[in-house]
Structure 1
């Protein structure tokens, strides 16, 4: 499937009608230097209040409002980018797909790849916005299967594969973020660090990601739910798996931050069993 666009192809299509460039780095980085005409959209700092049907509907409603304010809902092609492919541009594409909007791609290698081919940049001076939460129904056409509710992880179907893509120390519980009440992982989770899908700011070849994911214990024909700390790295892993031929992949958006908050929820620590 098409997930990325090369800097060379983007250069050929830069002035194509309906193509919109979206910088997902910080507002300061965008204002200093970005792709010509790129808008800024903060997709990184959003955190869902709770991973429930209602929480996800408000998340989708808020995302659609931001897309409408910036005109992204009318774009035919949206190119998401950051300095090098990391945890921001894939999350932007995931929000786009959540809303049921087609035509999104990630700039392979990000701004670094663009500069390497001699691409021009300039200070960001167009629209700037952020995804926020809105209480209300999700927009028509949204894709709820991309956001997996917390209760599904508590009583998962027999074929559901829970995939933790945080750092090894986060997975085994030897490290926890200050904002997390507990350190550990969702019981039964498979593990692969999300950065192992990336090389030099680009996704690794699909066959390499597929081999690594299978080695981690995943079966490509079964559904997968990814999670991390707050839902961003999980999107990077989702598209890595998509490239590798996994077709049923969603995100537990609240991720470990939400799971750790409830002392009644089970957890595991230590090496993978």
Structure 2
């Protein structure tokens, strides 16, 4: 099974006993939307709701961190997901949160996981069937064991920040990256990790919400000054849209990518970490705190 499947493919596979469809929509408090309520109103037939806001480490001081193995296994089993299932995740979110669910499932050991290209918006736009309510799934048997090589922690990011041998790519919008907009979480300083590039996650999508592919997808990274030949760590506000960049790189065949799970929620709340503000400068003679290029200089 490919990592990205079409609406036509999914429509033909619905009802297969080994197929599990998961709505992983996620919204920030400021979005004014409730993902669970929206799922109850309309979802792909047979889908279950994966609550990303709840499947976290509730004992960690940083919000949204990956949960322990036993909690993730319990939540997947409650959704009826088993070890041998084919899992299709989708979302109806401007944050394209299905990518986070895909990364989490893969990181905890699922091997047959794909994202529905275009998500629920494309499915509905094509006039395909939907249903409402909260269907109770049968329990599955999911074995979770986190692959810690899939994620980066603050120490790892500190070690590579500004290194010419690595790429650190931030999925937030340009204004938040530059520190011009306030952070949505209290106690978090605006700005970005010094040396990081800015690729707002929305730039990886076509107008119909489908993923860019091939040369168009590669161009989005290149226009942000990202060298796809280097090992990469993706980051964002709290680890949701960082997964979008990671999945985009995956579509291009790139495997040496880690996700910084703490992201800016952790980095920006730590008074000891260096922080940069201002827009990213690019070009062969770029200078400044966020410059990129062979002659770039500057400090946070």
Partner of 1:188: 195
Partner of 2:115: 106
Which structure 2 residues correspond to residues 64-213 of structure 1 after superposition, within 5 A?
A: 64-83=73-92, 86-127=95-136, 141-156=145-160, 159-179=165-185, 180-199=187-206, 200-213=208-221
Please state whether the residue corresponding to 1:217 is helix, strand or coil: coil
Please state whether the residue corresponding to 1:74 is helix, strand or coil: coil
CA distance in 1, matches of 2:94, 2:277: 30
Please state whether the residue corresponding to 2:122 is helix, strand or coil: helix
Please state whether the residue corresponding to 2:88 is helix, strand or coil: strand
CA distance in 1, matches of 2:188, 2:40: 36
Question: What residue ranges of structure 2 are gaps of 5+ in the alignment?
Answer: 26-34, 138-142, 281-290, 292-300
Partner of 2:29: none
Q: 1:71 to 1:47 in 2, by over 3 A?
A: closer
Do the aligned partners of 1:24 and 1:44 also contact (CA within 8 Å) in 2?
Answer: no
What TM-score does the superposition give when structure 2 sets the normalisation length? 0.79
CA distance in 1, matches of 2:188, 2:91: 31
Partner of 1:232: 240
The one-character-per-residue Cα deviations of 1:167-188 (angstroms, maximum 9, x if unpaired) are 1111111112141421111111
Check if 1:22 corresponds to 2:22: yes
Q: 1:224 to 1:16 in 2, by over 3 A?
A: same
| CA-CA distance at 1:125 after TM superposition | 2.5
Q: What is the alpha-carbon root mean square deviation over aligned residues?
A: 2.3
Please state whether the residue corresponding to 1:20 is helix, strand or coil: strand
CA distance in 2, matches of 1:224, 1:60: 25
Q: 1:248 to 1:217 in 2, by over 3 A?
A: same
Question: What residue ranges of structure 1 are gaps of 5+ in the alignment?
Answer: 129-138
Partner of 2:13: 13
Please state whether the residue corresponding to 2:192 is helix, strand or coil: coil
The one-character-per-residue Cα deviations of 1:180-215 (angstroms, maximum 9, x if unpaired) are 421111111011111000122111123211122123
Partner of 1:132: none
Q: Taking CA–CA contacts closer than 8 Å with sequence separation of 6 or more, which of the two structures ends up with the larger relative contact order?
A: 1
The number of residue pairs the alignment matches comes to: 259
Please state whether the residue corresponding to 1:123 is helix, strand or coil: coil
CA distance in 2, matches of 1:250, 1:117: 35
Please state whether the residue corresponding to 1:212 is helix, strand or coil: helix
Partner of 2:256: 248
Do the aligned partners of 1:31 and 1:123 also contact (CA within 8 Å) in 2?
Answer: yes
Q: Which is higher, the Rg of structure 1 or of structure 2?
A: 2
